[in-house]
Structure 1
Amino acid sequence: MPGGKLVVVDLRLCEGCLRGVQVSGDFFLEPDEALHAIDAALEGQPVDADEQALAAAIRTQLAPGVMMYGVSPEAIAVAVRRAIDPYLTRQESDA
């Protein structure tokens, strides 16, 4: 994230979709429950969803008035792609 904020995404890939998504980091959300909405927005997204699609899914799921400090839907989407892409590259090279 620009400005040095940490965004961490833990997830599993199952049948071409994101599962068990948990976003964390040194950012703040108001209300705190918005983090659950972000996780839910990413849950079930296709493995090949690009950053724009992931960010759009997050924005759609967030309630009006949610404040994000030190993070953005785009930054979270980048973290998701960074979590997925090395795994997919390894899979392709093993095939």
Structure 2
Amino acid sequence: MSKSLLRCVTQDMLKEKYLSDHWIRAFTDGSASEAIRDGGGGIYIEWPDKISSSISIPTGKHSTNYKAEAEALQKAARVLANSEATYNTKVVLLTDARSVLESL
């Protein structure tokens, strides 16, 4: 599947299942150079009030892709758990790291 088609399918799924007016949508990603060093994670949160926030986290000189993905997901979960905005709103974590989700 091409990247543009995948993007369209993903956007359609978000509109159908996770409307931004009713859900807090947290996107996470992590990566490392050559998959084994200088890792970092990113978090992008869309709040129902149309405000968004971004967080970048370094995961270390000896970080792997997996570690960066895991730390990004864990940090997003902590941010969301500590936000009063999540008390009456549904939350969805969106990531491409299935193995990390399964291990957590």
Could you tell me the TM-score, scaled by structure 1's length?
0.37
Q: Greater strand percent: which structure?
A: 2
Normalised to the residue count of structure 2, the TM-score between the two structures is: 0.35
Higher helix share: 1
Larger Rg: 2
